[in-house]
């Protein structure tokens, strides 16, 4: 009997299939083995496969709860760009440099052609900087510029998230750094945006003045380019003599454990208006 893939594995399976089609047939079995290991550990990490915080968020939130989430996430979001810049600077191959640079330039305001598809357009605008969209959403929840992004705004779990990403992305061992980047991009593409959007859409139905959700909806549509970039990079790195599968997986699991998992547990522990419908633990 064939069973439908779980939601959190559908995109990964599709994108992994694309790089399998591009690899030399002599290396296909070895790459398939690595992708199976990634699916079994990284893609089935509980923060991706069964994040209880995000599952509950999707059921609906109050304005203080929504404000709490966007404010704390903003600290990670703007510091993430610094971590990606470190990845770009330390790229071990020209292909890795190009794939990482695409992610960074897109974060900083260069859109993809036709909105979400194709190559970057080269047409920068302050209106398409991702943090600008985040500010638009924050304003709808009563947050000003000075209320967003600053490291001193972050709760301990948020700061731990930022530090975990900074440390792993800047690791001198590029197998570890690549694994960490892969994990963060694929967590976002496969688990983050849909439940966040669902909860915010329910909240908007109760508000006279709707919160601008462009930051969330754009990322939901375009994050697939970022996750595909990490798989494209993996295809190239996999064939390099320095690449170590175990270290790649170690980097991925380390950043998920110390980053998003710590962050969401912190969010639960500090949640305003928290009632019995919210879980005590994120996983």
pLDDT tens, residue by residue, 214-243: 999 988 877 677 788 888 889 888 989 999
Q: How many C-beta neighbours within 10 Å does residue 15 have?
A: 21
d(CA 273, CA 63): 9
- The per-residue pLDDT of the chain, averaged, comes to 91
Beta bridge partners of 115: 112
Distance between terminal CA atoms of the chain? Answer: 29
Average pLDDT over residues 80-89: 93
Choose the weakest-confidence range: 21-30, 130-139, 226-235, 266-275. Answer: 226-235
Residue 255: pLDDT over 80? yes
The CATH number of domain 9-21+32-269, selected from 1.20.910.10, 3.90.420.10, 3.40.50.360, 3.40.190.10: 1.20.910.10
Q: Which residues of 199-227 are buried (b: 16+ CB within 10 A; e: fewer)?
A: bbbebeeeeeeebbbebbebbbebbbbbb
- Give the dihedral sign, CA 84/87/88/93: negative
Residue 118: pLDDT over 60? no
Choose the weakest-confidence range: 30-34, 150-154, 181-185, 223-227. Answer: 223-227
Residue 101: pLDDT over 60? yes
More confident of the two residues 223 and 87: 87
């Amino acid at each position: 009997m064939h069973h439908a893939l779980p939601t959190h594995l559908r995109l990964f399976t599709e994108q992994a299939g694309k790089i399998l089609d591009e690899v030399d047939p002599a290396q296909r079995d070895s790459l398939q083995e690595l992708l199976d290991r990634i699916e079994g550990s990284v893609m089935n990490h509980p923060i991706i496969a069964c994040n209880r915080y995000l599952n509950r968020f999707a059921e609906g939130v109050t304005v203080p709860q929504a404000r709490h989430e966007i404010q704390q996430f903003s600290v990670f979001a703007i510091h993430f760009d610094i971590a990606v810049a470190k990845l770009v600077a330390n790229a071990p191959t020209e292909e890795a440099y190009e794939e990482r640079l695409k992610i960074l330039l897109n974060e900083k305001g260069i859109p993809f052609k036709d909105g979400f598809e194709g190559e970057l357009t080269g047409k920068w605008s302050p209106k398409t900087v991702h943090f600008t969209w985040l500010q638009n959403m924050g304003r709808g929840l009563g947050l000003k510029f000075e209320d967003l992004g600053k490291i001193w705004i972050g709760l301990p779990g948020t700061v731990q998230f930022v530090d975990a990403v900074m440390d792993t992305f800047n690791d001198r061992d590029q197998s570890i750094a690549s694994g960490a980047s892969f994990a963060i991009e694929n967590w976002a593409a496969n688990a983050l945006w849909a439940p966040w959007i669902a909860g915010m859409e329910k909240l908007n139905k109760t508000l006279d003045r709707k919160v601008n959700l462009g930051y969330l909806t754009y990322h939901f549509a375009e994050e697939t380019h970022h996750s595909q970039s990490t798989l494209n990079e993996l295809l190239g790195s996999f064939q390099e003599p320095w690449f170590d599968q175990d270290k790649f997986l170690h980097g991925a699991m380390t950043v998920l454990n110390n980053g998003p998992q710590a962050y969401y547990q912190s969010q639960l522990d500090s949640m305003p208006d928290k009632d019995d419908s919210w879980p005590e633990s994120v996983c």
